[in-house]
Amino acid sequence: MQDLDLFRVGVIANTHGVKGEVKIFPTTDAPERFKKLKSVILDAKREKITLEIQSARFFKNLVIVKFKGIDNINDIEKYKGCDLYVTRENATPLDEGEYYIADLIDMKVVDEENKELGVLFDVMQTGANDVFVVKLKDSDKELLLPNIPDCVLDVDLESRVITVHVLDGLMDM
């Protein structure tokens, strides 16, 4: 799903019990948001279905969710492995200097001399810091840049340009 106004918040990992509850693996930085969410959008491959959240509770690293109107394991089992999204309006608000990953994808990446390096292809979330995956211009190679102040100098969402400093050794492939 490549909709810039939808953000993935989880994946239905499995069913839970026989009354229609599901175990969701959260893909959001703030899994506790499931307690406040009123609805999610289920990407059922052929269609997108809005589901109202009746209840949510936590178990280990999963969220157990009950959707309104789904009261039987058979009604939800077919959606195992499907992604759950929220709209941009329901996304977690950002602090200053934070960006939604979806807004960064396909941005042009330049060095501090304004030389174009390539395009941001992906963002890997490593735990310590995010790593920008840049598909190099005129090449099938990728450059991995840690999203740290020494490396990522500026992110200009309006002009869709990320200015970076390539640390010594990062271009050696």
| pLDDT score of 3 | 59
The sign of the dihedral angle between the CA atoms of 167, 168, 171, 173 is negative
pLDDT in tens, the chain (173 residues): 445 588 889 999 999 999 999 999 998 878 888 998 999 999 998 899 999 999 999 999 999 999 999 999 999 999 999 999 999 888 888 888 788 888 899 999 999 999 999 999 998 887 788 899 999 998 889 999 999 999 999 999 999 999 999 988 777 65
The topology under which CATH files domain 101-164 is: SH3 type barrels. (2.30.30)
List the chain domain ranges: 6-90, 101-164
**What is the reported pTM?**
0.71
Cα angle, residue 45 at apex, residues 41 and 121 outer, rounded to 5°: 85
- Same fold yes or no, 6-90 and 101-164: no
Q: Tell me the C-alpha distance between 15 and 61, whole Å.
A: 15
CATH fit for domain 6-90, picks 3.40.1160.10, 3.20.20.80, 2.40.30.60, 3.40.50.1860: 2.40.30.60
Structure confidence at residue 1 (pLDDT): 42
* CB-count burial class (<10 Å; 0-12, 13-18, 19+) for 67: buried
The DSSP string of 6-60 is EEEEEEEEEEETTTTEEEEEE-SS-GGGGGT--EEEEE-SS-EEEEEEEEEEEET
